[in-house]
Amino acid sequence: MKNDNTLKTLTAAGLLALAVACEQPAQNKLADNLYMYTIEVQQKYLLLPIENEATEVKMELLVEGKNIGELMNIRIAQNQIDYWIPIEIEAYKGKKLTLSFNEAQNARMGFSKIKQSANYNFVYQEKYRPLYHFSPQYGWTNDPNGMVYYKGEYHLFFQYNPYGCKWGNMHWGHAVSKDLVQWEQLPYALAPDKLGAIYSGCVVIDKDNTAGFGKDAMVAIFTSAGEQQVQSLAYSLDNGRSFTKYEGNPVLTHPTIVDFRDPKVFWYAPTQQWIMSLATSQSITFYGSKNLKEWTQLSEFGEGIGNHDGVWECPDLFPLTYEGQTKWVLFVSINPGSPNGGSATQYFIGNFDGKTFTPDPLPYPLWIDYGRDNYAGVTWNNVPAEDGRRLFIGWMSNWDYANEVPTTNFRNAMTLARTLNLAHNGEHLVVASKPVKEIERLRCETISLPNKTATTTTFEQLLNNNDGAYELTFSIIPNGSDNFSFSLLNDKGEELTYIFDIANKTLVTNRAKSSVAFNANFAAMLIKAPLTAKKSYTIRLLVDKASTELFVNDGEVVQTNTIFPTEAYNALRFKTDKGTLSIKNVTIYKLSASETAISYLIENYLKK
């Protein structure tokens, strides 16, 4: 993919074509609400000063008077500069480049700071940047999209705003990994066009060239979100490094459904056709196609079942095996409607006959993760049969506060990649999840603590030089106790507490004192999950600076919750009000930073 594609998403045809035909000074007010910025390109980047709370202005770019790309919204600094956003302009060296802004009467300070630069340096490893989760280098991310395995690489596309740290200007960002742990971010894959922004979707490998784009073409199926939400195609013949949009887009429309989005597609061999799951307001509609271009409605699912408190989004239909029997699982994300506020992902277990999904009678709604910060997750396509895993990743945030989390150059990250399986929790089937085994490669230091039986006990100083990236594993046996807890603590009085309320069959997370204050919805409520009473509980907790992922009993119950403490939690406390707790096999693994994080540290610090 050419490096100049960043530029091509910035403009909207026709706004100022006549005005820029003549040369303008670097900053020129043409009207009360219209500004121009014209330069001769000499450097690699154009740096724009951004203020998170500034009013959005419309921005377009022209090269030698020609509009490039689509209109973008950007928060040019009005009172202060929070961070800088780069536009790569090297491909236009020696040419006249013009940025035009409308509705921009309050952004004079920001216009005066726009500059060319040979480098884009920023503090990559800021306070809440995860060390081993994927996060974009800069800008905003939400839903994971288009996950597919191909030629030794796991591809992760994602909803991406490269022009600011709040939602907007939806592109598909792109990262690849050989092991689901070390991620390399590539230039973004898809940018807005005349049909609209690029919303969520999927990628398939067209092994038999059913679409006519080429054998083994990597085909993206996504929602174009303009005046209407419609489904479109793009294809890549170079392992995802560049995509060509299908000239016949859109391939699927609906005249009346407003929320018509997020296609997830797979090949269903028994009927020799592609199956699409599509979110259609308060239902999931299934479509079939022989060629990815022409779609026929097969059935609809959702009426009278599950949670309907918000719009249904980001479906995923896939098989899992339990005790030799194939079952089908349908994921449906919903916002709002989470049992703990905001956004979450529910699921259904049942059967699929190539046309209709029929759910088993289970106590719906069921949730893949009862924490507040795992949304819109879907699974990888084309994972080799010899691997055998159903691999999943989610967006690690919540729409209640995602636009306000206290980071600077980026906002939000992905969960760890996880393996899904069906399990029986003692009452019914559930979709269990656990981190992929590859994460264990990051274990660089191991500390084992002594077994204890007590009513209250605290392990101080879990790690020397604790940078907030570690894994805890242990088991708890409650002896005569039906309510106990464990907590992570730091020296600032901040804590994150997990309460096992066995009497009420509830696992509760309390993060009221866990973090710096930034949003009233963040820590206002207790975060609850159903808990089956058992004689013992195995715990696996992964912490990465601003996130916690708790897996109970091999992932039968999962809670993912972000945190923003003043300093790393470095103590572990257990407590019960009656009886005792037997705490066994407490192990702390210090986790090393991913190679991605290390490389950015070197680039942004050691090379200066």
Q: Lowest-pLDDT range, 9-18, 48-57, 440-449, 546-555?
A: 9-18
Return contacts of 364-368, CB within 8 angstroms, 24+ apart: 364/305, 364/306, 364/307, 365/306, 365/307, 365/339, 366/430, 366/431, 367/338, 367/339, 367/529, 368/331, 368/392, 368/394, 368/431, 368/433, 368/558
Q: Lowest-pLDDT range, 10-14, 387-391, 412-416, 514-518?
A: 10-14
For the sheet with 483-489, list strands across it.
456-459, 571-576, 483-489, 495-501, 506-510, 527-530
Residue with tokens 């490096």: 3
Residue with tokens 């190679």: 595
**Percentage of the chain with pLDDT > 90?**
88
What pLDDT, on the 0 to 100 scale, is given for residue 594?
75
Give the pairing of strands 139-150 and 410-411: parallel
CA 517 to mean position of chain CA atoms: 23
pLDDT band at 4 (very low <50, low <70, confident <90, very high): very low
Rounded to 5 degrees, what are φ and ψ at 600? -70, -35
CA distance 177 to 384: 15
Task: State the number of CA atoms in the 13 A half-sphere of 399 facing the CB.
Answer: 17
Residue with tokens 């995602």: 402
Give the pairing of strands 66-74 and 153-161: unpaired
Alpha helices in 383-460 (DSSP H): none
CATH dotted code for 27-117: 2.60.120
| Homologous superfamily of the 139-435 domain (CATH) | Glycosyl hydrolase domain; family 43 (2.115.10.20)
pLDDT at 513 over 60: yes
Residue with tokens 């058992």: 534
Candidates 2.60.120.560, 3.40.800.20, 3.90.1150.180, 3.90.1150.10; CATH matching 437-591:
2.60.120.560
* Cut 0.85: pTM above it: yes
pLDDT band at 107 (very low <50, low <70, confident <90, very high): confident
What pLDDT, on the 0 to 100 scale, is given for residue 507?
98
Rounded to 5 degrees, what are φ and ψ at 229? -95, 120
What pLDDT, on the 0 to 100 scale, is given for residue 603?
57
Domain ranges of the chain: 27-117, 139-435, 437-591
What pLDDT, on the 0 to 100 scale, is given for residue 502?
96
Mean per-residue pLDDT, 583-589: 98
Rounded to 5 degrees, what are φ and ψ at 165? -105, 25
pLDDT at 39 over 90: yes
Q: Which of 223, 245, 253 is nearest to 159 (CA)?
A: 223
pLDDT at 14 over 60: no
Q: What is the pLDDT of residues 44-97, one digit of tens each?
A: 999 999 999 999 999 999 999 998 888 899 999 999 999 999 999 999 999 999
What pLDDT, on the 0 to 100 scale, is given for residue 121?
94
Structure tokens, 14 = 């026709």
Q: What is the pLDDT of residues 157-180, one digit of tens each?
A: 999 999 999 999 999 999 999 999
Does the annotation mark 577 as catalytic? Answer: no
What pLDDT, on the 0 to 100 scale, is given for residue 605?
43
Query: H/E/C letters for each residue in 466-484?
Result: CCCEEEEEEEEEEECCCEE
CA 16 to mean position of chain CA atoms: 36
| 139-435 shares the fold of 27-117 | no
Strand-pairing partners, residue 73, are 58
With vertex at residue 565, the alpha carbon angle to CA 549 and CA 554, rounded to the nearest 5 degrees, is: 10
Rg (CA), the chain: 25
Q: Which of 4, 32, 143, 309 is catalytic?
A: 143
> What is the CB neighbour count within 10 angstroms for residue 39?
19
Mean per-residue pLDDT, 346-368: 98
- How does the average pLDDT of the chain come out, rounded? 92
What pLDDT, on the 0 to 100 scale, is given for residue 601?
54
pLDDT at 3 over 60: no
Q: What is the pLDDT of residues 112-153, one digit of tens each?
A: 999 999 999 999 999 999 999 999 999 999 999 999 999 999
Exposed e or buried b for every residue in 54-89, given b needs 16+ CB within 10 A?
bebbbbbbbbeeebbbbbbbbbbbbeeebbbbbbbb
pLDDT at 35 over 90: no
pLDDT at 538 over 70: yes
Structure tokens, 495 = 């804590």
Q: Where are the beta strands (DSSP E) in 302-460?
A: 311-322, 325-335, 344-352, 357-359, 366-367, 375-379, 390-395, 410-411, 418-424, 429-435, 443-448, 452-454, 456-459
What pLDDT, on the 0 to 100 scale, is given for residue 5?
31
What pLDDT, on the 0 to 100 scale, is given for residue 108?
82
pLDDT band at 32 (very low <50, low <70, confident <90, very high): low
What pLDDT, on the 0 to 100 scale, is given for residue 2?
34
Mean per-residue pLDDT, 89-111: 89
Q: Lowest-pLDDT range, 5-19, 167-181, 442-456?
A: 5-19
